[in-house]
């Protein structure tokens, strides 16, 4: 049985094939460290019992969301899934409001109503993370439809996993976006496993990106550990979308280092994947790859990279304090935000 894709080792350090602004590269590094350190902190405080419920660490997959979102503007839209902390941070969301939401506090992004799996920031185009997998993809298509109807220039991007690539919602969405020629990017984070079930056992084609041909759109397979490759591929798809050339399916091959969810400790990883496999992916850590490129290309020093890491550790610490100090919602807030045009409660 094939457990996971072959790992390419061609680009531990890479030459830049496109002209990317140094500031953008450093911003991507910062956001990747922010996600990494945010998730490490979440694991620490969750195991200490500071908040309850599920949380799905994005560690190992940082380059996918950060590279993709770096190709978007604040006026573009994204929607995501249960593994939900990386997407908003990648799009420039606030870690303090994200952490406070995980803690169920009023200063959280959703005033404590959503929690870990439902972060959203409508001020910068984050339409929200869906705990039902594949379910946010048609919603993202709707944002692209609005751009199409109104003749506006924004694009929409939906994150989904290899598991959700089997959902009918995804296939219906790709067909809709294609027949209507919508400014849409379907971004598959193929982290190899749906909880414990390997992608190779559940997906009928070699690559999720192969599915694009059924919907008459480009399907691009990308090294998801390489943030620059993710950026390039997404920027190209955004260019196509903005110029009226329709949707693109991008598959970033990546890997989830941690288990599916915090609090799901009864599943031993050895039962479905090997330590060797995990180690082989850790050797291609997205942060190591980007820092290697930056340093070898003379665009940043080791010290500068370490300083960015340290700054994000500090920011995550402050965010955690912010969350801890934020009050829980009051009982009367139970009924807030049900309706835009309120009606009596039965």
Partner 1 sequence: MAQTVFVEAINQAISEEMARDENVFIMGEDIRRAVYGATQDLLNDYGEKRVLDTPLSENGFFGAAIGASLVGMRPIVETLTSFMWVGMDQLISQAAKMRYMFGGQATLPVVFRATMFYGGGAAAHHSDRSYPMFMNMPGIKIVVPSNPADMKGLLKAAVRDDDPTIVFEDGTLFGMRGDVPDNADLPQGELVVPFGEAKIVREGTDVTVVGIGGAVNIAAAVADQLATEGISVEVIDPRTLVPFDKKTVLDSVEKTGRLVIADPAHKVCSAASEIASIVAEEGFWSLQAPIQKVASEQVHIPFSPALEKLVYPDFAKITAGVKRTLES
For partner 1, the binding residues (CB under 8 A) are: 77, 79, 108-114, 118, 120-122, 127-128, 130-132, 135-146, 148-150, 156, 168-169, 172-173, 175-176, 179-180, 336-341, 343-344, 346
Residue 175 or 288: which CB sits closer to partner 1? 175
d(CA 22, CA 96): 27
d(CA 283, CA 313): 22
Between the CA of residue 62 and those of 5, 15, 163, 228, what are the distances in Å?
Answer: 18, 20, 18, 12
d(CA 248, CA 178): 9
* Least distance to partner 1, CB of residue 59, Å: 25
Structure-block tokens of residue 157: 């991007």
Structure-block tokens of residue 147: 């751009």
Instruction: Please count the other Cβ atoms lying within 10 Å of the Cβ belonging to residue 148.
Output: 17
Q: In terms of residues, how long is the chain?
A: 346
* Least distance to partner 1, CB of residue 286, Å: 29
* Residue 249 bridge partners (DSSP): 186, 219
* Least distance to partner 1, CB of residue 340, Å: 4
* Least distance to partner 1, CB of residue 108, Å: 7
d(CA 154, CA 242): 7
Pairing of strands 197-198, 193-194: antiparallel
d(CA 268, CA 264): 9
* Least distance to partner 1, CB of residue 181, Å: 12
Chain centroid to CA 169: 19
Residue 144 or 287: which CB sits closer to partner 1? 144
Residue 112 or 219: which CB sits closer to partner 1? 112
* Least distance to partner 1, CB of residue 152, Å: 9
Residue 3 or 180: which CB sits closer to partner 1? 180
Residue 321 or 336: which CB sits closer to partner 1? 336
Q: Which residue is associated with the tokens 């340093």?
A: 295
* Least distance to partner 1, CB of residue 246, Å: 15
Residue 122 or 206: which CB sits closer to partner 1? 122
Residue 30 or 148: which CB sits closer to partner 1? 148
């Amino acid at each position: 049985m094939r457990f996971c894709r072959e790992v390419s080792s061609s680009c531990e350090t890479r030459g830049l094939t496109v002209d990317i602004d140094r500031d953008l590269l450093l911003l991507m590094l910062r956001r990747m460290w922010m996600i990494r350190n945010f998730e490490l902190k979440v694991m620490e405080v969750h195991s200490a019992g500071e908040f309850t419920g599920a949380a799905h660490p994005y560690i190992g997959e940082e380059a996918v969301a950060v590279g993709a979102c770096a190709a978007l503007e604040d006026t573009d839209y994204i929607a995501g899934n249960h593994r939900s902390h990386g997407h908003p941070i990648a799009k420039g969301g606030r870690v303090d409001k994200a952490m406070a939401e995980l803690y169920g506090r009023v200063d959280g992004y959703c005033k404590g109503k959503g929690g870990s799996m439902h972060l959203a920031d409508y001020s910068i185009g984050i339409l929200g993370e869906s705990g039902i997998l594949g379910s946010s993809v048609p919603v993202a298509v709707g944002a692209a439809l609005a751009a199409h109807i109104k003749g506006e220039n924004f694009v929409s991007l939906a994150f989904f996993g290899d598991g959700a690539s089997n959902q009918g919602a995804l296939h219906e969405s790709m067909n809709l976006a294609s027949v209507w020629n919508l400014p849409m990017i379907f971004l598959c984070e193929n982290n190899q496993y749906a909880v414990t079930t390997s992608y190779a056992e559940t997906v009928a084609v070699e690559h999720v990106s192969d599915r694009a041909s059924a919907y008459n759109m480009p399907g691009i397979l990308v090294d998801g550990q390489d943030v620059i490759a993710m950026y390039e591929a997404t920027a190209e798809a955004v260019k196509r979308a903005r110029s009226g050339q329709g949707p693109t399916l991008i598959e970033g091959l990546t890997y989830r280092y941690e288990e599916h969810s915090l609090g799901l400790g009864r599943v031993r990883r050895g039962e479905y994947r090997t330590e060797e496999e995990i180690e082989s992916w850790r050797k291609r850590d997205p942060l190591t790859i980007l820092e290697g490129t930056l340093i070898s290309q003379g665009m940043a020093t080791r010290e500068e990279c370490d300083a960015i890491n340290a700054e994000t550790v500090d920011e995550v610490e402050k965010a955690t304090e912010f969350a801890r100090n934020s009050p829980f919602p009051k009982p009367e807030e139970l009924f807030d935000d049900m309706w835009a045009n309120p009606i009596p409660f039965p």
